[in-house]
Amino acid sequence: MATSSRSRADDIRARTDAQLVDLVLARPDLARPSPADLTSLAARAGTRASVQRAVEALDRGHLQVLEALVVAGDGASVTDLATLLGGADEAVVASHLGDLWTAALVWRAGDGEHVVRTVPEVFGSSISGLGAPLAELRPDLASRVPTAEELRATLAEAPDDSRAMLEKMTWGPALGVLPTGSAGRTTARWLIEHHLLLPVSVDRVALPREVGLVLREGRLHRTPELEPPALDSRGASLVDAAAGGSASELLTQVDELAAMWGADPPRVLRAGGVAVRDLRLTQQRLDVTAERTAFVVEVAYAAGLVADDGEIVPVWAPTAEIDDWPSVDAGERWATLALAWAGSTRAPHLVGRRSTGTGPANVLGPDVQWPAIRGVRRDVLRELATLDPGQAPDASSLRDRLAWRRPSRSAAVLGEAVEAVLREAEWLGVTGRGALSEAGRALVDTAFPATPSPIRGDRGGTVGGGITSNRGGPVARRGDGGSTVGGAITSNGQTRGEALHAVAAAMSAHLPAPVDHVLVQADLTAVAPGPLIGSLGAFMRLAADVESRGGATVYRFTPESVRRALDAGWTSAEVIETVRRSSRTPVPQPLEYLVSDVARRHGQTRIGGAAAYIRSDDEAVLDTMLASRDLAALQLRRLAPTVLVSSADPRVLIDLLREHGFAPVHEGRDGTVVHAEAPKRRAGTRRRGPAPVVSPVDLETTRGLVESLRAAEATAADRRAEHDQRSGPSIPATDPVVTLALLRDAVAEHHGVWIGLSDQVGITTRHLIHPERVEGGRVWAKDDAGHERTFSVHRITGATLEG
Amino acid sequence: MNDGPLIVQSDKTLLLEVDHPKAEAARRAIAPFAELERAPEHVHTYRITPLGLWNARAAGHDAEQVVDALMTHSRYAVPHALLVDVADTMDRYGRLTLEKEGLADSAEGTRLVLRTTDRPVLEEVLRHKKIRPLVGERLDDLAVVVHPSERGTLKQELLKVGWPAEDLAGYVDGEAHPIDLQQDGWHLRPYQQHAVDGFWHGGSGVVVLPCGAGKTLVGAGAMAAAKATTLILVTNTVSARQWKDELLKRTTLTEDEIGEYSGARKEIRPVTIATYQVLTTRRKGVYTHLDLLDARDWGLVVYDEVHLLPAPIFRMTADLQARRRLGLTATLVREDGREADVFSLIGPKRFDAPWKDIEAQGYIAPADCVEVRVSLPEGQRLAYAVSEPEERYRLASCSDAKLPVIEKLALRHTGEPTLVIGQYLDQLHEVAERLGADVITGETTVRERQRLYDAFRTGEITTLVVSKVANFSIDLPEASVAIQISGTFGSRQEEAQRLGRVLRPKGDGRTAHFYTIVSRDTVDADFAAHRQRFLAEQGYAYRIVDADDL
């Protein structure tokens, strides 16, 4: 066992198949792309990027155990760790340690648990607010590191104000600025003299780790939280009915959105998204808050019901799917929306938020894209699913629980996202009165099934770094256009269709039954006492204005709305007949009067477009024109005895008429005759570039060329000879990840390494180096002659340990 | 899913299906906190407003009862957000209370204190720049002294900032005066009795009853309950006379006990009837008759037609907060949108009933509402099209195309007492000439008016042409046909008042007729549509006919 890397690799190699499966499940990024062998799996598991993701995915309990192990040092006993964790239950610590081993953040050797070397790097110098060790801060003092007892003794002698100064730094940060006053200086000086504080720059001091631990009385965390905080909940009644109500309302809103955008689609902004003004119009139409409007729009988009039409002047328009939409069963429509929401990487609550340097985020715009929201949704819904049916979580305890689960997230951002998810779940009907509805539970089972996760307390994948897990993903991954990927397999092995049906079935029973009638009243309103069946709903939306929404819908017939129906091609008789057929109550006379009154005036004046007119007091001339077969191409139309119109350009009209023996003159806007003047066109002056220079292939250039070719050939031959003379082993090409791991190990173990290095022209040379540090894609090393050199890692073709 | 008659909408309206078997129970449950907004034939619309919820709190209902009423009767699940909002809104009422506190060293022995149970609320309202000057010395963290004269203004401002104060300071009894109802051969109708009780238990407030439903009797009932000196404020002199006649007839009061305080007479007696006009008369910027309010120790102040209460009276009322106040009206709709001031200064709505319900009980006459549309002749259409916007309504509504229709209608109802109501004097005189009828306008003397009314009442004359002076409080029993030829633009309350002219129950149970004549395709028709909405919302279905089809 020459290096720790070997041992870690050996640890991984020694694992059973089941343990390896657990490892990959716990750290899915290791599987993409598939590693070639266990060595490269082990190497990849040790890379900084992968370790970082694994650490960020840890909940606070596991993180604290891992921190404790880093602080306690390799091979620390469980008892030591438990003490460091404030006297935690050893069984819990041991179990957490086992989980960390499963995730290969810790490896086991004969002398106990070791932390993977990259973990401290990821943590950085300050762990839980604790400073760097004394030996690291002052290498000269490394041999005289005081014991805890000695430190305690020194501390006992400390003057009160010095002690107070230390106490301020106890729980971090471990770096402080020296006071400027003379009294403060004296206080600090005492501490510095006794090595309780170490100066790190002119005006800064650091609290060494050893001192910090003594001050913390041997505890690493102020509040060790190995177990998740309790989730408080309260009972909620009528959960499914409330959820059904919200679901039905959402379906209505989506219908209205589609109707509105179908008729008058908003423009796609150049930066993507919908303009604020258009969103406000939509909001007025839907008559809900701005947040809710954004949510409805985003859900419709996620479900592929609206999209950018991709034309030259692009607009947001309903997709072809909207045409079949009304005929789909309401439960399935809801399931489509709910599944799309669960899998969407877009966060509607960010709409209107100002991100740095840009204007407020637009709905459907790029700023609303936030992949982490899917992880938050999954976490929230799963937490809700752990509660008994009919139990609604207490919002603040849910926030605490999620903050515990995702300690690396900013509490404010997470809290806001959790709030948004809860709000949206309520609008969607995934929850009703705060508790997960039956349909919501079905959605969680389908979209976020609990995977058999090896890590207790974290049934999810990773959410860190803005990259979402590859598991537990949405039922159907949707492209930017939102089109459905047919036949995709969901996480729990169902096909998309099955998943949809399962969710739909759970909701269908709670959706208000659709009604096929309205109640029409004398004040020209019509009340639909429930969601209307598709075609009637569309008719009512067309022929009347929506006045009030909710379980029922109140429509009001106005002259404008009736005109809208007439514009859409309905006749007054059809409108009245449809109302009569769908009304449970007799149609009031004023409504009939209103419809016929609007119909009477509808189309009284007509407007059309024409490019040119011909007028003449001599009607016979116009008759001749109309009759002339040669002028048929002009598509002349008679508006009045003395006026013809044509869609041809006036100039064309004049030319053609002249050709056929008429004598028209051009009339200006004010009715006067315009005397045609032949227009004279001029192009802009062309800018001239410099004249081309010709260099002919003459004897001289040919000679030069041949010379340089010869020189190149000679160099190549020299290189070959030199290469053959060089010593050292043959170096196989290795994966850069493996190379890096090997170099890091060499740094730690002070080993020499043979590396293959390719130069600018692609020639590989061998070098024996002693690496000193590996950072930022470069290796600092001493070569054989003892000169310090740096190498770019991407130039290193392979590496092998010396000897 | 519940099969209730109520549907709760997300915009806080409640739809009540009238034909549902449980509709009555639901109506009773929601009536305390929801305002009836529209009452057409099949589905009534109620609205939950902060004012309504505070009304309910004032009447002793709590949020739990409201939520329970909604959940019990609702067909679909009630939006959670709405329930939370209801609870929050109701919770705001009563955080601040106005109390009277005994004080030994004060001259009056008491002082008025604004008290809270929740310090941040008091801090918040005290920081408002309009509220700050209304309060005095800070007593402690939770209380502040209020000058008695600012009691009304303070309540008004607190309501505006959304923290309505519960007025627990009570009322002065006023100077006692024996008043009783003389119920010989007649009795207060059940709804009138409810209205009186509702008012008396609440202390102050507004009673909403349709025209013709006997609001005057509710006033008399309230006086009998108070048994104290009373100030009655009415819209005009004729109305004042009618109040006096009614009180003499229905109560134990005698001629000497009732005074009239108007432009003509200035009598102050135990029961004094004053007009808004005289109270708001100013000379050199001073309200000269303001003393009337303090002339006696009034135990009750009655505001007739509270929807017309002029702004200065609001200001004066702010000073009368210690006295019981009763507002009477046919509709709380104020065209100036000052409903909130009525709430804070006069009091919450204490009684309301849909017109159709009272009609169904036979206390007001059923009415047939018809809109007759006339087409303007070609020349007038052109004149209309090119006229100034402000002239258009006058042009359209005064079209002589209406004259033949009026004649035709008058002819059809020959012998029945008919009122022709209009806005423009020229038009009224022209109509009167053609019908051979008398005209009552603002210029007509009170004596002449009384004479004409009496003649109309006795059936001596059957047709009267009246201007808008007759809109309010004239009591013309047996007027069974009203023809409206022009009005104050789209005023809904005017429409309500005019319909009220014919709603008094007829001796023979005849149906009343209410005609509106409008010019087609003009603003006249638009305004008419706006006005009629009110009728439709009260449950009066109207028909539209073309003049040619009459």
Residue A162: both structure tokens together:
């010095």
Q: DSSP readout, A72-130? A: H-TT--HHHHHHHTTS--HHHHHHHHHHHHHTTSEEEETTEEEE-THHHHHH-S-BTTB
Query: Which of A512, A548, A601 has its CB closest to that of B13?
Result: A548
Cβ(B33)–Cβ(B55) under 8 Å? Answer: yes
Yes or no, beta carbons of B41 and A554 under 8 Å apart: no
CA–CA gap between residue B241 and residue B256 (Å, rounded): 14
Which residues, other chains included, contact B353 with Cβ-Cβ below 8 Å and sequence gap of 6+?
B191, B208, B209
> For B389-430, how does the pLDDT look when each residue is reduced to its tens digit (9 = 90+)?
888 888 898 888 999 999 999 999 988 889 999 989 999 999
**Which distant-in-sequence residues (6+ apart) come within 8 Å of A77 by Cβ?**
A112
- Is B190-359 the same fold as B96-167? no
Above 70 in pLDDT, residue A727?
no
3-state class (DSSP) for residue A275: coil
Whether residue B413 lies within 8 A of chain A, CB to CB, comes out as no
Q: What CATH class is the domain A4-123?
A: mainly alpha
A27-81 pLDDT, tens digit per residue, is 878 777 777 777 778 888 888 888 988 888 888 889 989 988 888 887 788 888 8
Residue of B162, B530, B92 lying closest to A524 (CA atoms): B530
Indicate whether A600 pLDDT > 60: yes
pLDDT exceeds cutoff 60 at A384: yes
Q: What is the mean pLDDT of residues A563-589?
A: 92
Residues composing chain B: 550
Quick one: pLDDT at residue A232? Answer: 82
| Whether pLDDT at B445 is above 90 | no
Q: What is the pLDDT of residues A633-689, one digit of tens each?
A: 888 888 888 899 988 888 888 888 888 888 888 888 887 877 766 667 777 777 777
Using CA atoms, how far apart are residues B226 and B200, in angstroms rounded to an integer? 8
- The pLDDT confidence band at residue A190, using thresholds 50, 70 and 90, is confident
- Structure-model confidence comparison of residues A517 and B281, the more confident one: A517
In our burial notation (b when 16+ CB lie closer than 10 A, e otherwise), range A124-150 reads: ebbbbbbbbbbbebbeeeeeeebeeee
Shortest Cα distance from A241 to chain B (angstroms)?
5
* A601 neighbourhood in chain B, CB within 8 Å: 521
Instruction: Determine contact: B541 vs chain A, CB below 8 A.
Output: yes
Q: Do domains A4-123 and A716-801 have the same CATH topology?
A: no
pLDDT of residue A782: 86
Q: SS3 breakdown of chain A: % helix, strand, coil, rounded to 5?
A: 50, 15, 40
pLDDT band of residue A486 (cuts 50, 70, 90) is very low
Q: Are B406 and B435 in contact (CB under 8 A)?
A: yes
Residue A7 scores a pLDDT above 50 = yes
pLDDT digits (tens, 9 = 90+) for B456-506: 888 888 898 988 776 655 556 568 899 999 888 777 777 877 887 787 777
Q: Is pLDDT at A204 greater than 80 in this prediction?
A: yes
Predicted pLDDT of residue A474 = 37
| Min Cα separation A740/chain B (Å) | 57
N-terminal to C-terminal alpha carbon distance within chain B: 50
pLDDT band at A245 (very low <50, low <70, confident <90, very high): confident
ipTM value of the model? 0.81
Q: How far is A142 from chain B (nearest CA, A)?
A: 59
Q: Tell me the residues of chain A between 426 and 455 that have a Cβ less than 8 Å away from chain B.
A: 426, 432-434
Quick one: pLDDT at residue A605?
A: 85
Mean pLDDT in residue range B108-134? 85
DSSP string, B325-351: EEEEES----TT--HHHIIIII--EEE
pLDDT-derived band at B314, boundaries 50, 70, 90: confident
Q: Mean pLDDT score of chain B, rounded to an integer?
A: 84
pLDDT category of residue A723 using cuts at 50, 70 and 90: low
Contact criterion met (CB < 8 Å) for A244 and B543: no
Instruction: Assign B516 to helix, strand or coil.
Output: strand
A549 touches chain B (CB under 8 A): yes
pLDDT at A719 over 70: no
What kind and span of H or E run contains A393? strand A391-393
Residue B11 and residue A287: Cβ atoms within 8 Å? Answer: yes
Residue pointed to by tokens 């041997």: A218
**Average pLDDT for B325-351:** 78
CA distances from A324 to A255, A296, A298 (A): 12, 19, 20
Q: Choose from A246, A293, A521 for mutation: most chain B CBs within 10 A.
A: A521
Q: What is the pLDDT of residues B28-52, one digit of tens each?
A: 888 888 877 788 888 888 889 888 8
Q: Is the pLDDT of residue B333 over 70?
A: no
Nearest chain A alpha carbon to B13: A548
Residue A315's pLDDT is 92
Amino acid (1-letter code) at residue B361? Q
Q: Which residue has the tokens 């001031």?
A: B341
Q: Quote the percentage of chain B above a pLDDT of 70.
A: 96
Which CATH class, in words, describes the domain spanning B365-549? alpha beta
Distance CA B42, CA A527 (A): 9
Strands B205-208 and B324-329, how do they pair?
Answer: parallel
B444: left (phi over 0), alpha (psi -120 to 50) or beta: beta
d(CA B385, CA B401): 16
Q: How far apart are CA A394 and CA A629, in angstroms?
A: 83
Residue type, A786: G
pLDDT tens profile A283-293: 998 888 899 99
* CATH number assigned to the domain covering B96-167: 3.30.70
Between CA B359 and CA B278 the distance in angstroms is: 35
Q: Per mean pLDDT, which range of A450-459, B364-373, B458-467, B540-549 is the poorest?
A: A450-459
**CB-CB neighbors (< 8 A) of B8 in chain A:** 550-551
Q: pLDDT by residue (tens digit) across A85-119? A: 887 788 888 889 888 988 888 888 878 888 888 88
CATH of B190-359, picked from 3.10.130.10, 3.20.20.70, 3.40.50.300, 3.10.450.50, is 3.40.50.300
Percent of chain A residues topping a pLDDT of 70: 88
What SS3 class is residue A474? coil
Cβ within 8 Å of A, B 36-95? 38, 40-43, 45, 71, 74-80
Q: How far is A242 from chain B (nearest CA, A)?
A: 5
Class of domain A716-801: mainly beta
Burial class (CB in 10 A: 0-12, 13-18, 19+), B390: exposed
Q: Which of A434, A551, A585 sits opposite B9 (nearest CB)?
A: A551
B541 interaction partners in chain A (CB closer than 8 Å): 522, 588-590
- Which residues of chain B does A589 touch, with a Cβ-Cβ cutoff of 8 Å? 541, 543-544
Residues 510-529 of B with CB under 8 A from A: 521
Chain B contact for A249, CB < 8 A? yes
In a mutational test of the B interface, the residue from A237, A523, A547, A593 whose CB has the highest number of chain B CBs within 10 Å is: A523
The structural domains of chain A, with segments of one domain joined by +, span 4-123, 134-215, 233-508, 519-601, 612-670, 716-801
Between CA A218 and CA B102 the distance in angstroms is 64
Of A448-452, A571-575, B99-103, B356-360, give the range with the top mean pLDDT: A571-575
Cβ within 8 Å, pair B77-A593 = no
Q: What is the pTM of this model?
A: 0.70
Whether residues B42 and A527 touch (CB distance < 8 A) is answered with yes
Q: Is the peptide bond before A173 cis (omega within 30 degrees of 0)?
A: yes
**Does the CB of A548 have a partner CB in chain B at under 8 Å?**
yes
3-state secondary structure of B257: helix
CB contact (8 A) between residue B76 and residue A512: yes
A518 inside 8 A of chain B by CB: no
Distance from the Cα of B519 to chain A's closest Cα (Å) equals: 13
Round the CA-based radius of gyration of chain A to a whole number and report it: 39
For chain B, say whether A550 makes contact (Cβ under 8 Å): yes
Cβ separation B17–A549 shorter than 8 A: no
Cβ-based neighbours of B55, under 8 Å, separated by 6 or more: B32, B33, B343, B348, B349
Name the residue among B42, B76, B80 with its Cβ closest to that of A519: B42
C-alpha A656/C-alpha A634 separation (Å) is 9
- Please list the residues that pair with B368 across neighbouring strands: B513
Q: Which helix (H) or strand (E) holds A307?
A: strand A306-308
**Residue A363 pLDDT more than 60?**
yes
Please report, rounded to a whole number, the percentage of residues in chain B having pLDDT higher than 90: 16
Q: What is the pLDDT of residue A492?
A: 55
The ranges assigned to domains in chain B are 6-92, 96-167, 190-359, 365-549
Q: Which residue has the higher pLDDT, B396 or A130?
A: B396
pLDDT average, residue stretch A493-519 = 84
Alpha-carbon distances, residue B184 vs B177, B188, B191, B256 (angstroms): 21, 11, 19, 22
Residues B245-265 have pLDDT tens digits of: 889 989 999 999 999 988 888
